[in-house]
A and B are shown apart, each in its own frame.
Chain A
Amino acid sequence: MEQLLALFSDYTFQIVALGTGFLGLLSGVVGTYATLRKESLLGDALSHAALPGIALAFLLIGKKDLVYLLGGALISGLIATALIQWISKKSTVKFDNALSVVLSSFFGLGLVLLTHIQGLENANQAGLEKFIYGQASSMLLSDVQLLLAVGAGILVLVLLLWKELKVFAFDPVFTQTLGFQTRILQFILSAMIILTVIFGLESVGVILMSALLIGPAVAARQWSDRLGVVLILAGLFGMVSGVAGTFISSIGRQIPTGPTIVLVLSLIVMISLIFSPKRGLIIRWVNQRRKKKAYIKQIEEKQERSEKYAR
């Protein structure tokens, strides 16, 4: 117990838990829109596509300043999104195929640049690879402050554009007929996803970021049919898994934070899929059995009646 108290008052733990918790909240909210637009894998592609941007930004300024690196990631992420949308809209190429080609060639470019950087005589370069796996424990107060500022901006934007984003998420064509600029909305949504993803890169890494976008949204979707409730729940689930993952990885020895967060999140998703009172697997099974029984009863009654009639 004392150990726990000591942990909670630990400065590093507070910072990291605050960072991952807020990141979880943010990706829960943004991820809900992404999954509603059926673009949840875009997050996965973007997190890979951010790598060349990070490497290029480092090459240009020569030091590891988080703001510039994230700026580079933002730009290469936007380019990748535009490419994916362009290819899949202007040709018969399927969205998935465009996604995987862009993802791997951008990641390849990132590796090429990183290898080049490693060959340079620059002492600053060490640690750029941490963007691939993420290293939550190395979060600094300034990083968390930046995350809080940008994240709060995104949340305010979501509130301000509430009805626009809502109608766009469910029916983009209808949105256009209402006179909203769908292109601008698409851009805002993409930018929000990219910003969230690149903040996640630092703490959970390229590969696990997609889980953080999709997981909370899917889990929250099982408990409600209303967008507002789903958003709040998704944010909550994301936050809980962020904090719980950080907690578990700090009490155990040699447990990486990012993967632990994903494990906790997957547990929440599984519980939601199985136990949700409206759509869950258990309630579905019960309903099916009930229906089957009712149906058998119906048939039996019919049989009885026809037998009576025959007599």
Chain B
Amino acid sequence: MLVEIYLIAVVVALACSLPGVFLVLRGSTMLSDAITHTVLLGIVLAFFVVNDLNSPFLIVGATLVGVLTVWLIETLQHTKLLSNDSAIGIVFPLFFSIAIILITRYAGNVHLDADSVLMGELAFAPFRRMTLFGMDFGPKVLWSMLIILIINVLFITFFYKELKITTFDPGLAAALGFSPVFLHYALMTLVSLTAVGAYDSVGSILVVGFMVGPALTGYLLTHRLKRMILITLITAVFNSLVGVKAAFVLDTSIAGMIAVVTGITCLLAFLFSPSKGSIQAIRNRWKQRKNLKKQAASSHIKS
């Protein structure tokens, strides 16, 4: 049971952090924040169609709505009538409101409430078992997240150079014949798929932290993409293990604790990173000031 919680936490963290790397590099993490909220509408709509909370169609519907969110936000941004972040801030509350209204009006007696979607509880995840032919194969979430993790790994290994070039130089990528738009939407599909898979164990608000936190730590610690991915994965595992342990010791929300630990590791990286850290920056400034003083003095002596 305990081991299962650790396992789920690690797998969820790994699956989330992989697309997070490219989100951080593209600076479009708030887009993922929007997606994690709007997938709720997808889940609700798909639920009304199939009437089954365990149907895989829920994941499909929610992923589609996630991609639709991105499309709508970008269409709004292209009109130039409002700034980029305003477009995000208008679309996702709208979708989210529709979802909440639908839930309160029509799904009052089903186990589908905004609470479980937004906040999730990792501690309950092992209770939903995967049973095949009467045999117990472990928690359901573990399997679904494992599949999503594999999809993410496959996508990133197969499209590594395409992702790299479209992230760092979309203009060049387009000139070379890669389609930045296609890759962008492929990445966003993965983000929504991951968000949907993770929502009932982690809760959709904290998914953002799982996606962005480790990747930002990696970003702060290195300048190379491959190394950044490696550091991101290590940080993700570390955060989830420490978070689960701390949550058990303090007897509190597991996903929340992991998010707190993620924030702390990120802050530490921001402070102490050898290349981009703020303490290093202060030291550099001191050194420069000293050097400048020395130079000024020596030029005085010379003259």
Contact = CB atoms under 8 A, between A and B. Distances in A.
A100 B209 contact: yes
A48 B266 contact: no
Nearest to A221: B82
B98 A40 contact: no
Contacts of A256: 100-101, 104
Interface string A101-117: 11111111111111110
Interface string A289-305: 00000000000000000
A177 interface: no
Contact of B89 (A40, A91, A108): A40
B259 interface: yes
Interface stretch (A18-26, A142-150, A208-216): A208-216
Nearest to A104: B209
A132 B104 contact: no
B256 interface: yes
A40 B257 contact: no
Contacts of A132: 118-119
Contact of A262 (B94, B247, B251, B256): B94
A41 B281 contact: no
A263 B98 contact: yes
B89 A44 contact: yes
B276 A101 contact: no
Contact of A214 (B24, B81, B86, B258): B86
Contacts of B85: 38-41, 96
Most chain B beta-carbon neighbours within 10 Å: one of A44, A92, A259: A259
Contact of A269 (B90, B209, B219, B281): B90
Contacts of A112: 247, 250, 252-253, 256-257, 260
Contacts of A105: 209, 213, 259-260, 262-264, 266
Nearest to A117: B252
A184 to B, nearest CB: 23
B89 A213 contact: yes
Contacts of A107: 205-206, 209, 256, 259
Contacts of B212: 97, 100-101, 104
Nearest to A210: B89
A103 B256 contact: no
B88 A41 contact: yes
Interface in A20-42: 35, 38-41
The size class of the interface chain B forms with chain A is 35 or more
B96 interface: yes
Most chain B beta-carbon neighbours within 10 Å: one of A91, A100, A260, A263: A100
Contacts, number: 201
A111 B256 contact: yes
Given A211-B93, A262-B97, A111 B276 contact: no
Interface in B235-284: 247, 250-253, 255-260, 262-264, 266, 270, 276-278, 281
B104 A104 contact: no
Contact of B263 (A101, A111, A116, A129): A101
A105 B98 CA distance: 27
B33 A100 contact: yes
Contact of B119 (A111, A222, A258, A263): A111
Given A105-B213, A111-B119, A112-B256, A214 B90 contact: yes
A39 B30 CA distance: 12
Interface in A152-176: none
22 contacts: A35-B86, A41-B88, A90-B278, A93-B219, A96-B85, A99-B29, A99-B30, A100-B29, A101-B262, A101-B263, A103-B209, A112-B252, A116-B251, A129-B115, A207-B93, A207-B118, A211-B97, A214-B90, A222-B81, A255-B101, A266-B93, A273-B82
Interface of B: 24, 27-30, 32-33, 37, 76, 79, 81-83, 85-86, 88-90, 93-94, 96-98, 100-101, 104-105, 108, 114-115, 118-119, 203, 205-206, 208-210, 212-213, 216, 219-220, 247, 250-253, 255-260, 262-264, 266, 270, 276-278, 281
